[in-house]
Amino acid sequence: MLRLSALTLALLPLIALADGSAGNPETLTERSNAKAREVLDATVAAMGGAAAIQGVTSVRLTLEGETWPRLQMTTPQAPFQSGHSKETLLLDLSGSRLRLETANSGAGFEGHNTVVLKRGEGTNYDHRARVATAVPAAQASQQQFVQYQRRLPNLILRQALERGTSLRYLGEDVLDGAPHEVVTFVMPDTQQVAVYVDAKTRLVSKYELAFTDPLAGEEASEVLFGDYVDSGGIKVPKRWEFRQAGETASRFAARVEINPAVDDAAFEVAADGYAKAQAVASELPQRVEQLGEGIYVIQNVAGQNQNTLAIAFKDFVLAVEAPGSSAGADRVIQRIKETLPGKPIRYLAMTHHHGDHIGGLRSFIAEGATVVTTPGNRAVVETMAKAPQNDRLAKSPRAQEFLFVEKGRRVVSDGDRSVEFIDVGPHPHAREMLIAYLPKERLLFQGDLFAMPNNDAPPGPPQESSRAFARFLAERKLKVDRIASVHGRTVTIEEFVQAAAPGEKAASR
């Protein structure tokens, strides 16, 4: 009779695992990864095959069409007047080089820029201002190339093939009436991407990223692809659409070249006579700028290049602008309390309805501040206050209160200090647009009417938005010495006139 020792008995489970005689059931993660790989393999085959996709060394992509940027239009509600954009992207994947030329117009602004990144160095050429600005090394890194690979489904699939361990199967969904399978993976820049694959054609219909929308809470940012054609043995889209929170933000016609010939000259820009400017710091310093007794600009605390004005009255504080997010606004509120202790923030004024200017509004409502705005913005504020966000207002709900600027002007005063809110609209950037004017201090605070660069670059030719603002100041004969801004640094009236209305004289002193 065979007898086994205690040690042998203890080792039996390990021996069984080693020879495969005991099961090792797959986990949910393993099953999800395996299913996602099946979907990816079928999609890669339909798009041209793994060898062709992995053999892409260069891409030229041109996108041109209309834009309707969410929460960046002249009015908070439709109908919206579209802008125009053209983008030409040249990617040299094997040489780690990129050239991106953009030309866009809308809402009182025009832009024409070319960005060149190559081998860890970069330059931004502003063709309107005729200035070449160095791109910080951190922004010219290889990781920065990854976001541009999301311009095309082929390059997304290439990334998915290289990062197979992060693949997961999300399930089935319906897009535009057609069944789809959805897989997700993490790209090198840490963005988690969800890819929608048409169950019939096996082509990529769209990809999604998650983001927090000021009005709708957690939402999807989507890029949709369509009208596929063959280019060098690879399927590429002719239609390209960008949506945020279900709304179309841009709709472009796409032209794609796979593996076009590239040389060094393709990454050079004719910039004779362009001024050279220093790189803008990757992290602008957080600081509190004092503009007078009890008057402060809280700079870069809500977010990069996002400022809030804080004004002390006898018994309260008035803040102007809530940019960024709820988390950023919480930091601003804390800085205001440290700078002006012992006084409640009674009012929060918003210059206009654009998302980067009201993203932190919910925190000020939670703080108990009354919202100062124009009547046309009431609905957007109420919608934002009800948005399903995980912040202070969600945890301690509070009804918003309004102080409206009607007939173009409203004054907040305690008998000693006064702030005038003046509607400069209708303006090219927003139909209703407030400025905060302190007549006694000859100081003005504004958002998006004018901005001075955060480096030594010249501002360039005046934008339509700035020209309209300069005309408004001249017509109203406002006595102003300094202009502080939501974006950019505080300037003197002389600097503003020189930049926004060359050849004109500053307002009479």
100 within a domain of the structure (yes/no): yes
- The answer to the question of residue 18 being in a domain is no
Choosing from 256, 277, 298, the residue where a domain stops is: 277
Q: Nearest CA to 82 among 112, 111, 104, 113?
A: 104
> Mind listing the pLDDT tens digit for each residue in 233-246?
999 999 999 999 99
pLDDT tens per residue, range 24-43 = 778 999 999 999 999 999 99
Identify whether the C-beta of residue 93 lies closer than 8 Å to the C-beta of residue 58.
yes
Residues 401-423 have pLDDT tens digits of 999 999 999 999 999 999 999 99
**DSSP states of 57-114:** -EEEEEEEEEE--TT-SSSSSSS---EEEEEEEEEETTTTEEEEEEEEEETTEEEEEE
Domain of 77 in residue numbering reads as: 28-277
User: Is residue 254 assigned to a domain?
Assistant: yes
Residue 232, helix vs strand vs coil: coil
The position carrying tokens 């897009």 is 175
pLDDT digits (tens, 9 = 90+) for 136-193: 877 766 556 788 999 999 999 999 999 999 999 999 999 999 999 999 999 998 999 9
Categorize the per-residue pLDDT at 283 as very low, low, confident or very high, splitting at 50, 70 and 90: confident
Does the pLDDT value for residue 53 go beyond 60?
yes
Q: What sign does the CA torsion over 264, 270, 276, 280 have?
A: negative
**Cβ contacts of 205 within 8 Å, gap of 6 or more:** 175, 176, 178, 180, 196, 197, 198, 224, 225, 226
Q: Can you give the pLDDT at residue 7?
A: 44
What SS3 class is residue 156? helix
Residues 41 and 152 in one domain: yes
Residue 378 covered by a domain: yes
Name the 3-class secondary structure at 277. Answer: strand
Give pLDDT tens digits for 323-341: 999 999 999 999 999 999 9
pLDDT category of residue 22 using cuts at 50, 70 and 90:
low
Give the per-residue SS3 of 470-502: HHHHHHHCCCCCEEEECCCCCEEHHHHHHHHCC
Tens of pLDDT, residues 185-199:
999 989 999 999 999
Q: Strand 131-135 relative to strand 275-277: parallel, antiparallel, unpaired? A: parallel
Amino acid at 163: R
Last residue of a domain, one of 277, 301, 325: 277
Q: Based on the fold, state whether residues 128 and 200 are members of the same structural domain.
A: yes
Distance, in Å, from the CA atom of 293 to the CA atom of 437, rounded to the nearest integer, reads 15
Q: How many domains does the chain have?
A: 2
Report the distance separating Cα 24 and Cα 417, nearest Å.
75
Verify that 390 and 409 share a domain, yes or no: yes
Q: Are residues 211 and 353 in the same domain?
A: no
Query: Quick check: is 317 in a domain?
Result: yes
pLDDT tens digit sequence for 492-501: 999 999 999 8
Give the angle 454-455-456 at the CA atoms, nearest 5°: 135
Give the Cα-Cα-Cα angle 96, 99, 100 (nearest 5 degrees): 130
The CATH number of the domain holding residue 156 is: 2.50.20.10
Strand partners, 240: 225, 252
Please, which residues bridge with residue 324 across strands? none
User: Is residue 212 domain-shared with residue 316, that is, in the same domain?
Assistant: no
pLDDT class of 17 with cuts at 50, 70, 90: very low
β-pair partners for 404: 373
Does 224 lie in the same domain as 161? yes
> Mind spelling out the 3-state secondary structure of 106-155?
ECCEEEEEEEEEECCEEEEEECCCCEEEEECHHHHCHHHHHHHHCCCHHH
Within this chain, do residues 77 and 160 fall inside the same structural domain, yes or no? yes
Task: Report strand pairing: 482-485 vs 491-492.
Answer: antiparallel
Average pLDDT over residues 118-135: 92
User: Same domain, yes or no, for 99 and 238?
Assistant: yes
**Which residue reads 């309390």 in tokens?**
337
Query: If you average pLDDT over every residue of the chain, what do you get?
Result: 92
How many C-alpha atoms does 287 have within 13 Å on its Cβ side?
10
Question: In this structure, are 81 and 207 located in the same domain?
Answer: yes
Is the per-residue pLDDT at 452 higher than 60? yes
Least confident stretch, 132-146, 438-452, 463-477: 132-146
**E strands of 344-433, at which residues?**
345-349, 370-373, 402-404, 409-413, 418-423
Residue at 307 is within a domain = yes
pLDDT over 70 at 5, yes or no: no
Picking from 382, 190, 150, 281, the residue whose alpha carbon sits closest to that of residue 158 is 150
Q: How many helices (H) and strands (E) does the chain have?
A: 12, 29
The total of other beta-carbon atoms located within 10 Å of residue 269's CB is 15
Q: Is 505 contained in some domain?
A: no
User: Is residue 2 predicted with pLDDT exceeding 50?
Assistant: no
Q: Looking at the structure, do residues 120 and 256 belong to the same domain, yes or no?
A: yes
Residue 111's pLDDT is what?
Answer: 96
User: What is the per-residue pLDDT across 199-258, written as a single tens digit (0 to 9) for each?
Assistant: 999 999 999 999 989 899 899 999 999 999 999 899 999 999 999 999 999 999 999 999
DSSP 8-state symbol, 431: S
One DSSP character per residue, 12-41 reads HHHHHHHTT-S--PPPHHHHHHHHHHHHHH
| Domain annotation covers residue 14 | no
Residue 502 buriedness (CB in 10 A; 0-12 / 13-18 / 19+)? exposed
Torsion over CA: 312, 316, 322, 324 (sign): positive
State the pLDDT at residue 456. 86
Q: Which of 31-45, 175-189, 432-446, 448-462 has the lowest mean pLDDT?
A: 448-462
Is 55 in the same domain as 159? yes
Under the phi-then-psi rule, with left for phi > 0, alpha for psi from -120 to 50, and beta for the rest, what region is 506?
A: beta
Q: Rounded to 10 degrees, what is the CA torsion of 405, 410, 414, 419?
A: 100
119 and 70 in a common domain: yes
What one-character DSSP code corresponds to residue 375?
G
pLDDT number for residue 390: 93
Domain CATH number, residue 336: 3.60.15.10
What's the rounded mean pLDDT across residues 93-100?
92
Domain boundary among 245, 277, 309: 277
